[in-house]
């Protein structure tokens, strides 16, 4: 993914972002990245594989640091192919899981669920986190999602989730942490 033609072209537009504050991807390709990927499924597949790889790493870190055995239902908002939750499912066989994302991602998640033989406990649902409230669950995850959006949209996403939460629900926001200073860090390009 990092050495792909589309990725390099987007990064070559960094000067545009610095000058205008607007995404280079939109400037270079004429539309937002999510729309462009919908029109280029072969490129979307590569992106999805990269995102799934990161999600598995996040899931392993979460499993090592938190016990979810008291939860009955968990929803991964913007969970793509479901890689994050598929990883968690192996550790917690009694929890009902949902991955909630746009229709294109749900199709991929449903295939991954079937391949992992988890259809009885794991459901992919069509959901636009910018416009809708998710299903009521005990817990929610936003994994590597909020960094893609401006403050206004992030606030809307969080308000939509909190509308579905009860007093005991939990929300985990998992993002890379940027290290201070000018040195190299993969987190600065993730």
Cite the active site residues.
147
Backbone dihedral angles phi then psi of residue 138, each to the nearest 5 degrees = -75, -30
Residues 74 and 85 sit within 8 Å (Cβ to Cβ): yes
CA distances (Å), origin 6, targets 15, 21, 37, 39: 16, 20, 10, 13
3-class DSSP state for residue 100? Answer: strand
Tokens of 26: 């939109």
């Amino acid at each position: 993914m990092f050495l792909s033609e589309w990725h390099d072209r987007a990064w070559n537009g960094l000067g545009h972002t610095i000058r205008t504050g607007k995404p280079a991807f939109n400037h270079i390709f004429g539309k937002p990245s999510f729309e462009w990927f919908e029109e280029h499924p072969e490129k979307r597949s590569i992106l999805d594989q990269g995102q799934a790889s990161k999600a598995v790493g996040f899931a392993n870190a979460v499993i090592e640091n938190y016990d979810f055995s008291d939860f009955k239902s968990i929803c991964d908002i913007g969970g793509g192919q479901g890689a994050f939750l598929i990883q968690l499912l192996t550790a917690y066989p009694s929890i009902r899981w949902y991955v909630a994302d746009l229709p294109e991602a749900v199709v991929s998640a449903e295939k991954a669920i079937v391949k992992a033989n988890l259809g009885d406990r794991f459901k992919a649902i069509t959901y636009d986190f910018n416009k809708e409230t998710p299903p009521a669950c005990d817990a929610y995850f936003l994994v590597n999602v909020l960094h893609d959006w401006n403050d206004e949209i992030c606030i809307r996403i969080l308000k939509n989730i909190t509308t579905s939460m009860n007093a005991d629900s939990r929300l985990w926001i998992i993002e890379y942490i940027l290290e201070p200073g000018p040195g190299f860090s993969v987190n600065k390009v993730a």
